[in-house]
Structure 1
Amino acid sequence: METLETKKKRAFPHSLVIIFLLICVAAVMTWVVPAGEYVRVEDALTGRMVVDPNSYHVVESNPANLFDVFVAIPRGLSEAGWIAWMVLIIGGSFHVIESTQSTRALIGKFMKTLKGRGGIFFIPLLMLPFFMLPAITGNGESMLAFLPLGILIARSMGFDAMTGLCIVTIASSTGYCTGLFSAFSTGTAQSLVGLPVLSSGLWFRILGAVLLFAAAAFWTVRYAWMVKKDPTKSYCYDLERNASEQEAEIVELTTRRKLCLVEFLLGICTIVYAALAGWDFKTRFPAIFIIMAVVIGLTAGYDANKIASTFVDGAKVVLVGALVTGFSKGISVILADANITDTIVHALSSLVVGLPTQIGAMAMLLVQSVLNCFIISSSGQAAATIPIMSPLGDVLGLTQQTVVMAFLYGDGFSNLLLPMNASIMGACAISGITYPQYMRRAIRHYASYMVIGFIMLFIAATIKLGPF
């Protein structure tokens, strides 16, 4: 029997531990990698300072010492402070909204209405709300609350628990990948490269979202059809043989919750309008979420203390993500102080020099996918990698919008497979599906998403996808 001590030894390192080790690696690199830099010139069209790809030259080295490693952490928190505060504010506000159970009641009523209807082509319709909510809000973890109901509906339609997991968890994870209006991923990345936040490149993200949803629905319908014809082919057949038909909790859609939903919809519309109108992203977007939390909390019957305490509980949930953002920024602080960021960019560009820009865009997707294994937080990964990928894009002749798309897909797609992803492991725990069983299903989604990502980046690099 495995002891507690053995389990502790096998436990995956905490995100902050990984980031700190990466800061240490960056510090060691400052002693090994020669310092160098590119000359920045102003782009006549955008006014943004861009890299002159032929201007790289060696400069004086400034390696980091041991104390610099620890100084980089508070400096990173300070420089990425607005991102960390945004994560806390949006996380806390969304928790207030979710605590009213308004969205749970609406989706629960919708799914209960479809219960018992065996038409397999209802599946994409069931998946759509779970896809859209994370695509707009950037919050996919809250969709776990609907998983028991999703599994119940799937079984009542003659399918299995894996189909229910695909309807809820795969759909929400896929929606998150699109970054349509996600302040955490798209907003952070675009602000770091100086693009108009959320409004820029929206049509291209919508195109990608349509393709990704089509792929998610195709694989889910195909699997459900297989299980319907032969239940023994279920990836979790043993689980299905022992499945109990317990009723999942259905939350009543009261008048208060209907009003909360109307207010939530108005808030989402305001966010979309603010993005298209070019409102200040760093302050006004979090402010919209605060207003939504207060108004919806009061409508739900909360007093001021209840709203505040629920907000704090939500902020606690995302606190690690906020800290990871600041810690991750410490990596780029170390590299920038030692003047080796441009050296890394120069080395990476030399690997693909002479190749079509489309290949460079695809390579960025692969690099971001690997980095996501170490930096799970989307805002944290943006803070750590965009300072390197942005000038690399300039050198390779890629637009900054293409750089952002490579980041979004690299950050999002690999989340489907990572055992460090709370949404995935939580879904496995709730459903009773083992991680290997889940992987057997998810790998098909991941492979098709990567193909779509490569195609989208090929197009972006070819048409030189601009800010709008």
Structure 2
Amino acid sequence: MAQPELNTNSALSRVKEINVFALLFAVIAIAVVLTYLIPAGEYARVDVNGRSVVDPQSFTFIESSPVKPLGLVNSVHTGMVEASSIIFFVLIIGGTFGILTATGAIEALIVTLSRKLQNQEKWLIPIMMFFFAMGGTLMGMAEETIPYIAIMIPLAIALGFDALTGAAIVLVGASVGFTSAIMNPFTVGVAQGIAELPTFSGAGYRIGVFVVMYAVSVGFVYRYAMKVKKERGYGFFGNYEGKSSADLLRSEVVLTTAHKWILTCFLINFVVLAFGVIEYGWYITEIAGLFLLLGIIIGLIGRLSANTVVDSFLKGAAGLISGALVIGVARAIVVVLNDGHILDTMLYYAATAINQVPPAFSAFGMLVLQSLVNFIVPSGSGQAALTMPIVTPLADLVGVTRQTAVLAFQFGDGISNILTPTSGYFMAGLAVAGIPWIRWVKWIWPLILTQYGIGAVAVIIAQLIGYGPF
């Protein structure tokens, strides 16, 4: 079956979005003004086991050096340069996923699973949500989920469920994985790099979070789906009123041997990645190279021509251009604060204000902060670039482990991605399903509150047990 043709741009245009670049540029301007208002100061940095750590007793005020007006625009280029390694890392991985999509392996797997589950509706929700959750937690699946909403909703309706159930299987499933971020390169990978933590370290704890988040989310969607199956009038069908999955079930799409080999290579890639990170300390350069090699291999297995491989890579990378540029523009804010020598002053005042609060509650405060920032900067990698250079030394000052600070970031970034109207891919998904945002919020808010509760408990426990390595 040909993949449903969705006009994502049209779906997005129906939503009045806050332009993230305009907001970030406004914040850069505010940061420039603050360099004239806040006294300059600095902490001494000391090297501890190869990482730069703030000496909490070393803060001193220094001569002010406010950023000149031209620095407002210069900082954007400087931010792009400083964040270039992360920007190109994101683009290379996006390009590899573009090649994977072009092979048709993901679509064939989903359609095959859907066919096999057509008469086993009780297994549809946990199995398909697990598939999308693994996509979110291993490869940062988000925008890529939108086309599959048009596959899952007709199937869910044909099995006695509704549009909310079909959309939730995709959106909630991917969100659970994206939030727990066992090996999500776009969130925990970027954030840990900025925090100078070993790449994908602390995965064991995040696996535990994944299991809890997944179980709770599946239970929430499953209970609702069973109510709809018992009483159809309880459901909501959006754009799919009266639709069935007949076309999907008659589809000629099959999971070929080549598709199976491609998916096997994809899984092997993550095994090799984990081994390289643990044994050899691989970082962004090596991980990006591994994904690029994966793209070439699956292109060969999928019998794609050289031109198709390159075009698919460019298409996949182009889909992440906006998010990649957000990383550089967000970095410009930090550039201004550093050039004006007020970042350390802000850290000093913040640390002084919360120094009497137990570190566990400081960690919870970081979760709240990241959740608020995510409303303005819905890009996970962009939010990491904006907040982690500030949160990392603050965590050192108030006694919160850096790994816990990253955990607070990934919860604050991930949970609200299927709630806030500034999340573009989420709003596009609702538009495809024909589900009004208010209707979705009324349905999803108990689960969102539960997930925030899980996140808060996980962050506090992480701090209490010294979740690290540091």
- Are the counterparts in 1 of residues 261 and 301 from structure 2 also a CA contact under 8 Å? yes
Equivalent residue number for residue 59 of structure 1: 62
2:403 to 369, 383, 401: 401
Distance 1:278 1:411, change over 3 A: farther
- Are the counterparts in 1 of residues 238 and 435 from structure 2 also a CA contact under 8 Å? no
Shift of the alpha carbon at 1:247?
2.5
Shift of the alpha carbon at 1:237?
5.3
Equivalent residue number for residue 3 of structure 1: none
Q: Distance in 1 between matches of 2:82 and 2:52?
A: 19
Distance 1:456 1:220, change over 3 A: same
- Are the counterparts in 2 of residues 185 and 408 from structure 1 also a CA contact under 8 Å? yes
Deviations 1:112-161 (A, max 9, x none): 11113243x54212211110111001122212222222212322321111
Equivalent residue number for residue 379 of structure 1: 381
Shift of the alpha carbon at 1:356?
1.0
Equivalent residue number for residue 389 of structure 1: 391
Equivalent residue number for residue 4 of structure 1: none
The secondary structure found in structure 2 opposite 1:50 is: strand
Equivalent residue number for residue 39 of structure 1: 44
Q: Distance in 2 between matches of 1:462 and 1:445?
A: 26
Q: Distance in 2 between matches of 1:101 and 1:67?
A: 49
Mapped pair 1:19 → 2:21 = no
Distance 1:18 1:264, change over 3 A: same
Query: Which structure 2 segments of 5+ residues have no match?
Result: 1-11
Equivalent residue number for residue 77 of structure 1: 80
Deviations 1:144-190 (A, max 9, x none): 22222221232232111111111111100111111111111111111
Distance 1:391 1:429, change over 3 A: same
Shift of the alpha carbon at 1:324?
0.8
Query: Over aligned residues, Cα RMSD in angstroms?
Result: 2.1
Give the residue type in structure 2 aligned to 1:38. Y
Distance 1:313 1:250, change over 3 A: same
Deviations 1:329-378 (A, max 9, x none): 10000001111111221222233221111110000001011111122221
Shift of the alpha carbon at 1:31?
1.3
Deviations 1:188-240 (A, max 9, x none): 11111111111x11111111111111121121112112222222222x25666
Deviations 1:11-33 (A, max 9, x none): 43422222211111111111112
1:322 to 324, 336, 342: 324
Give the residue type in structure 2 aligned to 1:170. V
Q: Distance in 2 between matches of 1:111 and 1:241?
A: 20
- Are the counterparts in 2 of residues 109 and 250 from structure 1 also a CA contact under 8 Å? no
Distance 1:362 1:307, change over 3 A: same
1:366 to 365, 368, 371: 368
Distance 1:9 1:143, change over 3 A: closer
Give the residue type in structure 1 aligned to 2:253. V
- Are the counterparts in 2 of residues 123 and 217 from structure 1 also a CA contact under 8 Å? yes
Q: Structure 1 residues 81-90 or 265-274, which shifts more?
A: 265-274
Mapped pair 1:347 → 2:349 = yes
Q: Distance in 1 between matches of 2:290 and 2:76?
A: 30
2:103 to 76, 100, 103: 100
Equivalent residue number for residue 439 of structure 1: 441
Q: Distance in 1 between matches of 2:67 and 2:50?
A: 33
- Are the counterparts in 1 of residues 142 and 174 from structure 2 also a CA contact under 8 Å? yes
Equivalent residue number for residue 266 of structure 1: 268
- Are the counterparts in 1 of residues 17 and 421 from structure 2 also a CA contact under 8 Å? no
Give the residue type in structure 2 aligned to 1:392. L
Equivalent residue number for residue 91 of structure 2: 88
- Are the counterparts in 2 of residues 34 and 58 from structure 1 also a CA contact under 8 Å? yes
Equivalent residue number for residue 414 of structure 2: 412
The secondary structure found in structure 2 opposite 1:376 is: coil
Query: Which structure 1 segments of 5+ residues have no match?
Result: 1-6
Equivalent residue number for residue 203 of structure 1: 204
- Are the counterparts in 1 of residues 31 and 333 from structure 2 also a CA contact under 8 Å? yes
Q: Please, what TM-score do these two structures have when normalized by structure 2?
A: 0.92
Equivalent residue number for residue 178 of structure 1: 180
Shift of the alpha carbon at 1:317?
0.9
The secondary structure found in structure 2 opposite 1:252 is: coil
What is the aligned-residue identity percentage?
Answer: 33
Q: Distance in 2 between matches of 1:332 and 1:291?
A: 34
Distance 1:448 1:105, change over 3 A: same
Equivalent residue number for residue 8 of structure 2: none
Equivalent residue number for residue 7 of structure 2: none
Equivalent residue number for residue 226 of structure 2: 225
The secondary structure found in structure 1 opposite 2:233 is: helix
The secondary structure found in structure 2 opposite 1:247 is: helix
Q: Distance in 2 between matches of 1:344 and 1:462?
A: 26
The secondary structure found in structure 1 opposite 2:141 is: coil
The secondary structure found in structure 1 opposite 2:46 is: strand
Give the residue type in structure 2 aligned to 1:39. A
- Are the counterparts in 2 of residues 116 and 156 from structure 1 also a CA contact under 8 Å? no
Distance 1:250 1:50, change over 3 A: farther
Shift of the alpha carbon at 1:455?
0.5
The secondary structure found in structure 2 opposite 1:288 is: helix
Shift of the alpha carbon at 1:300?
1.3
Mapped pair 1:138 → 2:143 = no
Count of residues in correspondence between the two structures? 457
Deviations 1:370-401 (A, max 9, x none): 11112222121111111110111011101111
The secondary structure found in structure 2 opposite 1:373 is: helix
The secondary structure found in structure 2 opposite 1:49 is: strand
Equivalent residue number for residue 459 of structure 1: 461
- Are the counterparts in 1 of residues 15 and 427 from structure 2 also a CA contact under 8 Å? no
Q: Structure 1 residues 70-79 or 276-285, which shifts more?
A: 276-285
Q: Distance in 2 between matches of 1:373 and 1:113?
A: 39
Q: Structure 1 residues 370-379 or 252-261, which shifts more?
A: 252-261
Give the residue type in structure 1 aligned to 2:19. H
The secondary structure found in structure 1 opposite 2:375 is: coil
Q: Distance in 1 between matches of 2:152 and 2:317?
A: 27
Give the residue type in structure 2 aligned to 1:77. M
Deviations 1:395-423 (A, max 9, x none): 11011111111111111112121222232
- Are the counterparts in 2 of residues 196 and 278 from structure 1 also a CA contact under 8 Å? no
Shift of the alpha carbon at 1:280?
2.6
- Are the counterparts in 1 of residues 24 and 330 from structure 2 also a CA contact under 8 Å? yes
- Are the counterparts in 2 of residues 108 and 250 from structure 1 also a CA contact under 8 Å? no
Equivalent residue number for residue 114 of structure 1: 117
Shift of the alpha carbon at 1:326?
0.7
- Are the counterparts in 1 of residues 371 and 412 from structure 2 also a CA contact under 8 Å? yes
- Are the counterparts in 2 of residues 101 and 251 from structure 1 also a CA contact under 8 Å? no
Equivalent residue number for residue 448 of structure 1: 450
